[in-house]
Chain A
Amino acid sequence: MSNVPADIRTKISTEAAESFAESYYLALRSSRATIASFYLPKSESPDGKIYPSLVLNGASLDDGMTVQKFFIEEMPFTHYEAQSIDCHVLNPNLKPLESGRKAEAERNMSLLVSVSGWVRLQELSKGPMRGFSETFVLVPNEEFPKGKAPKTDKKSWLIQTQNFRYVT
């Protein structure tokens, strides 16, 4: 089992969920050209399963770039407001670790994130409003700069699984 103390794990996982939700929904509103960077690159597992697995209102989308294209080309203005966020550590020992680095061990987990909120379409104040529910599985981005490496625009957590639904 993981040697990371429960309080550290809770702190890292819940804060990751919050900052992920904040930046992801902001990107859907105002920096749609960065949407693809929130997603795990497309890959196929040995038994033929393809990830990321993305379902928006019942439609399966191929990968992050498909989501990005969809938002840029077809979606009107959107403003998402996450009213409720919750997060569980799904797998606390995601990968065998190469180094014994503490920071790496602390992030070596997958997260289950659920969000409940509303989205305003077309216009911030008067556009139609829908309630939504969204569930993500996030995994650490292996390309995220480690230690003292210079910061990049790489996201620290990536979407492996996504399920979005309008609920009102």
Chain B
Amino acid sequence: MPVTTATRRHQGNRGGIAKRTRDMRTDRDGDMLMGTAPRGRPQAARGGRGALQPTRPPPAPGMSDSRRGGHNSSFKKEQLLSALRQGSIRAGGTERNGPAQSGNIKITGWTKSEAYASSDGGLGALISWLERRVNISIKKRNAPRKTAPPRTFKLAPNKYHVEGDALIISAMGSDVGDLLHLNNFEFSGVKIKVEEIPKESEQDSSAGNQTRQMLKDFLHRRYDPSAKLLNLSAIGQDQEILNTGMFATASTQSKFIPALMKVCDGIFKSAEEKKDTVQSITLANNALDSLVAVKEVAPTFPDLLNLDLSNNQFPSLDSLSGWKTKFKHLDQLIVSGNPLEQNNADYAADLAGWFPTLRVLNGIQIRTEEQIAKKQKAIIPIFGANFKDISGIGESFIKTFFPAFDSDRNGLVRHCYDPQSTFSLAVNPGAPRDPAQQGFKQLQTWDRYIKQSRNLKKITHLNPRMNRLLTGSDDITKFWQSLPLTRHPNLESETEKWLIECQSVPSIPDPSGNSPQGVDGLIITVHGEYEELDGPAGQARIKRSFDRSFILGPGGLNGIRVVSDMLTVRSYGGCAAFTPTDTNTGTNQPVTETTMEAPQQALPTLTNEQTQMLTELARQTGMNIQYSKECLEQSQWNFQAALETFAAVQPNLGPEAFAQ
């Protein structure tokens, strides 16, 4: 199989540490490709290399952030230095011995297999064969427990590469043993050889020590304690590094930063110490065209505040995407002097999105501290219920509705629903659960609901969509009878379990037909919970949460009719979310707190027809408006019936009935 070794392509006098060995892929002919571009980016996109734009002056080492970097840190350069000199350093590499932890596995012999004839040289077949075999081992080990295997072994593309006729795999834990177990197994007609590559320290311990010492010296030279800056710029020009021959081959170059990061990990005893000591890193002037050689910087310094990547060869934002969402506290970033500036017009906006805390990009402020602080809060502030009622109609309705839904659904439908009212139920079993009950997952069954659920995400056909929308009191009555009995919390003594809001809504159909444009109504949104009961006085079986939206309009027996009623029942989610986080309601957001005090008398708006009846009855009988209205209400707004009622009661009416 022809293999091309990755070579440095643009060393120049900037000295590259970019190196591609670990990123090699095979193409369809089995040849090794040298692309670094991740996820199929066309190679052509990397044009213009070498044409380094001298944009802004290189910023290092002045990247220290006076805003965040100035706070007291007990760290002294001497501490780093003495730590470096003392034997106490947990230098990387030496402690992670033993196949139980991690190891590099070399597999040979497979290139003689029949599968080698396939387009990828049999690599794909080998990988899936290895995965299958290791998974069998995992399963076998797990078999006595009679549970599902705890995990599936999968070889991610960054965990293996091909060197010559050897497949090199880096594996962890028991996978190492499982892979070694496959030595002399037959793959595609040939016996393969599986062996562990000895660790570097075992391989050549004196050379390893030498390297470590060299790296420590390098760190020593490159650390600026006043700026808390680790200057990793222009490594290829570092005379002492060049003298050691460390940069002589592409292979050692690619190992430089990983080795350096291991040494760093050994120096710092805690993440806190690391964070206080190194706040800025510059990787400027390294001719980097991908993150491959430097990616270990992110896990080693996750709390970095300032990062300088200027004057490299990053061709596009994609080449930096490996660090997207890394560096959670990044405050300043410099990417100037990279081809990506030309190739990605919107790079600034994208980078701002990648790093939510980023304040300064290429020396230009893109966010204020206040904006970042707000974003960090990460939530829409939660205010108390916004209840913009009209004449107490909404409040009165709610106070009638929920007790009646628990005790007398038929009566409720008769009073509040009419032949045009619509109702439907939607079930959301996958809704987030109560965060206070983590770990305790009440078993939720939905069979009493699911057959009637109209959740449009699940019900995609037109017929059930039509059938599951109930129109008119009769159908709604029938449907409600099929639902479990409920007990809602008390609206007055358990207010914390409710969140009820009310807004006005225009253009509600007018059943009287007097307003073809429709009339004003209310939209009431209710979030709450209820218990399902076994029987009328029965045991509570389970708690559900629900969201319910009502549209109320004028009409019906009580002057109010439910135009539309949408109920969503979901897994119990608790009521913690209803508590306002932002009690500062005096800001620019006018909020009316709901005050569920004693129910006010509902004063429903009369329809035009009713107003006409009222005026006419008052005129004919001489009664005042209040008495006329009561008379009409008793007669269900039937004018003839009202006249008869008046005739019946007239002898008993006192003068107050006629007092205007």
Contact = CB atoms under 8 A, between A and B. Distances in A.
Interface of A: 6-7, 10-11, 14, 17-18, 45, 47, 49, 51, 53, 55-60, 73-77, 82-96, 110, 112, 114, 116-118, 121-123, 127-131, 133, 135, 137, 139, 160-161, 163-168
B527 A133 contact: yes
B375 A76 contact: yes
Interface stretch (B212-220, B289-297, B461-469): B461-469
A165 B527 CA distance: 9
B356 A163 contact: no
Nearest to A95: B517
Q: Output the residue of A57, A77, A85, A114 with the most chain B CB within 10 A.
A: A57
Interface residues of B, number: 69
Q: Which of A89, A112, A129 has the most CB of B within 10 A?
A: A112
A58 B579 CA distance: 11
Contacts of B506: 45, 49, 51, 160
A80 to B, nearest CB: 12
Given A49-B506, A58-B383, A118-B431, A133 B456 contact: no
Contact of A168 (B381, B435, B580): B435
Contact of A165 (B426, B432, B525): B525
Candidate in B353, B516, B523, B566 with the most chain A CB atoms within 10 angstroms = B523
A82 B456 CA distance: 10
Contact of A163 (B378, B434, B507, B523): B523
A130 B527 CA distance: 14
B573 A49 contact: no
Nearest to A71: B380
B433 interface: yes
A106 to B, nearest CB: 14
B590 to A, nearest CB: 6
B568 A49 contact: no
Given A121-B379, A163-B501, 11 more contacts: A53-B504, A57-B382, A83-B431, A84-B457, A88-B469, A133-B525, A137-B505, A166-B382, A167-B545, A167-B547, A168-B434
B509 interface: yes
A91 B577 contact: no
Interface in B438-475: 454-457, 462, 465-466, 469
B325 interface: yes
Nearest to B466: A10
Interface in B23-57: none
Given A88-B469, A123-B325, A135-B523, A168 B380 contact: no
Contacts of A60: 386, 589-591
Interface string B346-365: 00000001001000000000
Contact of A90 (B504, B508, B525, B590): B508
Give the interface SS of chain A, mostly helix, strand, loop or mixed: strand
A91 B515 CA distance: 12
Q: Which 5 A-B pairs have the closest CB atoms?
A: A58-B383, A131-B432, A168-B573, A84-B428, A133-B547
B564 interface: yes
Contact of B577 (A76, A86, A121, A167): A167
B373 to A, nearest CB: 10
Contacts of B527: 133, 165, 167
B466 A6 contact: yes
Interface string B365-390: 00000010011101111111110000
Interface in B500-533: 501, 503-509, 516-518, 520, 523, 525, 527
B338 interface: no
B509 A114 contact: no
Interface in B519-570: 520, 523, 525, 527, 545, 547, 549, 551, 563-564, 566, 568, 570
10 contacts: A10-B465, A56-B380, A83-B431, A84-B431, A88-B424, A90-B509, A94-B518, A95-B517, A128-B379, A131-B431
B591 A59 contact: yes
A163 B432 contact: no
Q: By CB atoms of chain A within 10 A, which of B356, B382, B424, B456 has the most? A: B456
B100 interface: no
Contacts of A58: 382-386, 501, 580, 591
B59 interface: no
Interface string B404-434: 0000000000000000001010111011111
B99 interface: no
Contacts of B590: 60
Contacts of A93: 509, 516
Given A7-B466, A90-B551, A74 B426 contact: no
Contacts of A123: 325
A46 to B, nearest CB: 11
- Of the candidates A11, A110, A114, the one having the most CB atoms from chain B within 10 angstroms of its own CB is A114
Contact of A166 (B353, B380, B503): B380
Nearest to B458: A84
B465 A18 contact: no
B574 interface: yes
B499 interface: yes
A85 to B, nearest CB: 4
A55 B507 contact: no
A131 B546 CA distance: 12
A135 B427 CA distance: 15
B483 interface: no
A121 B456 contact: no
B482 to A, nearest CB: 18
A10 B568 CA distance: 19
Nearest to B427: A84
A9 to B, nearest CB: 9
Given A10-B465, A131-B573, A133-B547, A83 B430 contact: yes
Nearest to B577: A166
B456 A14 contact: yes
